[in-house]
Amino acid sequence: MPHPISTLGAIHTAVSVATFVAGLYSYARHHQIEPREPAARGYLFGMLVSVLTAFGLSSTGGFNVGHALGILALLAVGAALVIPKVSLLGRARPYLAQLAFAFSFFLLLVPGINETLTRLPSGQPLADGPESPLVRAALAGWLGIFVVGAAVQACWIRLQRRRAQAL
């Protein structure tokens, strides 16, 4: 039987889903997470709340991989916010900043994939743990989407820069 979800777990899940939707909307609308845009601000706030609420959750009773991924996601967001200000990075700044945002978005769903597949459908989940072939395949697919998406985004940034230079 799957573990029942606590009130904090339900709040964490709702915030995480809203964060994912805000990030997805930002990518669909702007092709990037642009911190000045409302959807991106929602993503950033949601990411913080999602990671903080995760610390109150643990099926193992202590610090776990999901917590470590949350910290890594917050570090990626922090880097993405700082990189544009580091002149030493030159023309690589927009690429590196968006790669860091994309990495945080990728990390947001890693624990979510495992939790979803090991909890749903209720009473007869699709997978029995993180080592399950289904979970591994889903994570591999998500990694592939991240890699392809980051490459497409880099091409888009380059195209936008060339268009701006041509004006």
CA distance 143 to 43: 20
Q: Within a domain: residue 56?
A: yes
Task: Flag whether 161 is in a domain.
Answer: yes
Question: Could you tell me where the DSSP H helices lie in 120-132?
Answer: none
62 confidence band (pLDDT: 50, 70, 90): confident
Asked whether residue 2 is domain-assigned, the answer is: no
Q: Which domain holds residue 115?
A: 7-166
Asked if residue 35 belongs to a domain, the reply is: yes
Q: What is the mean pLDDT of residues 40-65?
A: 90
- How many domains would you assign to the chain? 1
pTM of the model: 0.91
Indicate the pLDDT class of residue 1, thresholds 50, 70 and 90.
Answer: very low
pLDDT of residue 148: 98
Per-residue confidence band for 120, with pLDDT thresholds at 50, 70 and 90 = confident
Q: Which residues contact 40 (CB under 8 A, 6 or more apart)?
A: 22, 23, 26, 30, 33, 34
